[in-house]
Amino acid sequence: MFLKNLIFSLNATVPVFLMMVFGWFVHRIKLLDDNATAQINRFVFRALLPALLFMDLSTADFRSVWDGGFVLFCMCVTLLSVGIAVIYALIVGKGAERGEIVQASYRSSAAILGIAFVNNIYGHSTMAALMIVGTVPLYNIIAVTTLAVTSPDKEKTGSKGAIALNTLKSIVTNPIIIGIGIGIGWSLLKIPQPVILSKSVTYLGNMATPLSLIALGASFRFGEAKGKLPVTAGAAFIKLVLFCCIFLPAAVKLGFRGEKLIAILVMLGSATTGSCFVMAKNFGHKGTITAFAVMLTTLLSAFTLTGWLFLLKTLGYI
């Protein structure tokens, strides 16, 4: 049983990690340069991820799969996680870097790794998308506000009114949120999908996960964060271990099992999303802590997520 559960866990995590390693390798041998990687990231975020979410949600019977309690749990846990991240940033951070610490400590690769892991285990599931419904809007609201308030470039940040406007704009124009909204609306209205549309969207959606993981691996930059290891290691511990220790038992006690529990695990214990770096730079932050957190959590999550999956499988919860 031990070996069977270990193989189950490794089958879920190793392929995802190997895609990142492959991305790092092709960047090292110059098949992908920095500009190409940035373009792939932009393409995945603006086109492929929305297509993937639309594909998962629009064809589902949303009235039957909707779970308000699950979505509410994801929202509440996200808010509590942000609170923990803020406390940590206030203790160890200084000035503008506090905004980076907060974002790096709570913001998961929910859209990329969430769907990758759940689909890798179950083949197809809307639970990861439901988790994203409960987290992505909050991720963006909190990240924009936190980075703007702590920005070293106050001229770019502007007044409180400008912060509120930027927050609203980031929500309304976020491609992932747009994909979620259109997908849910399509499902609720029961609009039929022509075969041409269905196949085209499926082609796009199926490219999202491998391309995003390859681009994430190609973005790795070692040796750029000297002196930031202690604070970044603390953020990684919070992101990959502490949140799971606190909130996974609560999820189990509330009765979440299988696909839902896997989606919650990814929300809590997956790596810091690469979009954090872009967002931090856009608000005038150096981005050093953010970049290092993305690299470190991505590397370590292959082992920590395997451990959490193995534990949940051994205990019979998934």
Q: Helices in 150-242 by DSSP H: which ranges?
A: 154-157, 160-172, 175-188, 195-218, 229-237
Q: By the 8 A CB rule, do 62 and 187 touch?
A: yes
Summarised one tens digit per residue, pLDDT across range 184-213 is 889 888 888 899 999 999 999 888 878 888
- Calpha distance 160→146 (Å, rounded): 12
Question: How many other CB atoms are there within 10 angstroms of residue 81's CB atom?
Answer: 25
Residue 304: give its domain's CATH number: 1.20.1530
The mean predicted confidence, pLDDT, of the chain is 84
Q: Name the 3-class secondary structure at 121.
A: helix
**What residue numbers bound the domain in which 237 lies?**
2-218+225-314
The radius of gyration computed from the CA coordinates of the chain, to the nearest angstrom, equals: 19
Instruction: Measure the CA angle with vertex 139, ends 137 and 145; round to 5°.
Output: 100
Torsion of CA 283, 285, 149, 113, to 10 degrees: 80
Q: Of 89-93, 246-250, 296-300, 312-316, which gets the smallest average pLDDT?
A: 296-300
Domains in the chain: how many in total?
1
Both tokens of 279, joined, read: 């967002």
- Note the pLDDT tens digit of each residue in 209-222: 788 888 877 876 66
Return the higher-pLDDT residue of 30 and 225.
30
Per-residue model confidence (pLDDT) at position 277: 77
Among candidate residues 261, 268, 230, the one with its CA nearest the CA of residue 106: 268
